[in-house]
């Protein structure tokens, strides 16, 4: 089989798996980013190419999650402005600042968010932790997570899920669907910046994007069949595992 076709099929499969993983446990980049590295892209090129392809995951998942998105239009339109601003800021940071800066704090952010995912139902029973809509504080927290997604984004969906949990008073599967749509907005804005100024490998975007779109379509169907406590535990467990791996690579020997 031709090497180019093999590469395309590999990225198609990685994208499909990443699209499902994105919806279920918010960790698409932990599948798709290494796949781009595996086919020979350097880190920054892999990062920007991955962001461009992830736009199609958001599109597919938004179509697949229409039942969970009903009634969320007004708040999503307001949050989309914050998502776009965060994506633009994060993209600018990636293009202008040393990547090492965010690498140092990413494991701690992801670990903290994973623990909060587990504690959120208990915290929500206390008035000060209940979802309270868009306030200055909740908007700022969500903006920070959108910046992270625009900048690098590995496991950023978990951070977004926690931030949105302080804003949207709906079941986890609905908040998860909102997360997918808004992260798609963030990725779209960052992708435009990367398309203009970043080293995007366009020939690799196509198979990865098709896989992510198809995986995004299937993911919501699976998500609505998993009980909320199981989905919450799955997201938190994967997040903690990713945090441990990133922490070892960042702070470990060598």
Summarised one tens digit per residue, pLDDT across range 203-218 is 999 999 999 999 999 9
- Using pLDDT thresholds of 50, 70 and 90, give the confidence band for residue 128: low
Q: Mean of the pLDDT values across residues 26-44?
A: 83
Residue-wise pLDDT for 231-251, tens only, equals: 778 877 877 887 787 788 778
- The CA-atom distances, in angstroms, between 3 and each of 10, 41, 46 are 10, 15, 19
CA 76-80-85 angle, to 5 degrees, is: 155
Q: Mean of the pLDDT values across residues 49-57?
A: 92
Q: Do residues 9 and 165 lie in contact, with contact meaning Cβ atoms separated by under 8 Å?
A: no
Predicted pLDDT of residue 21: 84
Q: Do residues 3 and 133 lie in contact, with contact meaning Cβ atoms separated by under 8 Å?
A: no
- The CA-atom distances, in angstroms, between 227 and each of 27, 53, 61, 132, 223 are 19, 29, 19, 24, 8
Residue 99: is its pLDDT beyond 80? no
Q: Do residues 35 and 208 lie in contact, with contact meaning Cβ atoms separated by under 8 Å?
A: yes
- Using pLDDT thresholds of 50, 70 and 90, give the confidence band for residue 109: confident
Which two tokens mark 221?
């169907």
pLDDT greater at residue 225 or residue 232: 225
Least confident of 23-37, 52-66, 92-106, 205-219: 92-106
N-term to C-term CA, the chain? 39
Residue 79 CA to residue 41 CA, distance in Å, equals: 33
Q: Mean of the pLDDT values across residues 68-78?
A: 95
Residue 150 CA to residue 120 CA, distance in Å, equals: 25
Number of residues that make up the chain:
254
Residue-wise pLDDT for 138-185, tens only, equals: 999 999 999 988 887 666 777 888 889 889 999 888 998 999 899 999
Predicted pLDDT of residue 11: 96
Q: Mean of the pLDDT values across residues 45-64?
A: 90
Predicted pLDDT of residue 52: 93
Predicted pLDDT of residue 34: 82
Residue 167 CA to residue 139 CA, distance in Å, equals: 8
Question: Mean pLDDT across the chain, nearest whole number?
Answer: 85
Q: Mean of the pLDDT values across residues 46-54?
A: 89
pLDDT greater at residue 71 or residue 158: 71
User: Residue 89: how many CB atoms within 10 A of its CB?
Assistant: 20
Q: Which residues touch 65 (CB under 8 Å, ≥6 apart)?
A: 23, 177, 180, 181, 220, 223
Of 32, 26, 74, the closest CA to residue 211 belongs to 32
């Amino acid at each position: 089989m031709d090497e180019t076709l093999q590469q395309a099929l590999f990225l198609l499969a990685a994208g499909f798996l990443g699209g499902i993983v994105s919806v279920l446990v918010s960790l698409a980049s932990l599948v798709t980013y290494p796949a781009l590295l595996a086919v020979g892209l350097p880190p920054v090129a892999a990062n920007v190419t991955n962001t461009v392809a992830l736009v199609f995951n958001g599109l597919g998942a938004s179509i697949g999650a229409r039942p969970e998105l009903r009634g969320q239009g007004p708040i999503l339109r307001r949050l989309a402005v914050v998502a776009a601003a965060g994506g633009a800021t994060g993209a600018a940071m990636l293009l202008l600042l040393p990547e090492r800066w965010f690498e140092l704090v990413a494991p701690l952010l992801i670990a903290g968010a994973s623990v909060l995912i587990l504690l959120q139902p208990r915290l929500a029973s206390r008035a000060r932790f209940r979802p309270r809509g868009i306030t200055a504080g909740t908007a700022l927290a969500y903006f920070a997570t959108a910046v992270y997604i625009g900048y690098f984004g590995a496991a950023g969906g978990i951070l977004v899920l926690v931030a949105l949990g302080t804003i949207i008073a709906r079941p986890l599967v609905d908040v998860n669907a909102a997360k997918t749509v808004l992260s798609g907005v963030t990725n779209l804005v960052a992708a435009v910046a990367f398309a203009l100024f970043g080293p995007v490998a366009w020939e690799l975007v196509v198979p990865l994007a098709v896989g992510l779109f198809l995986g995004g379509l299937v993911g919501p169907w699976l998500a609505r069949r998993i009980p909320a406590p199981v989905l919450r535990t799955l997201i938190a467990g994967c997040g903690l595992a990713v945090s441990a791996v990133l922490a070892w690579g960042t702070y470990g020997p060598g």
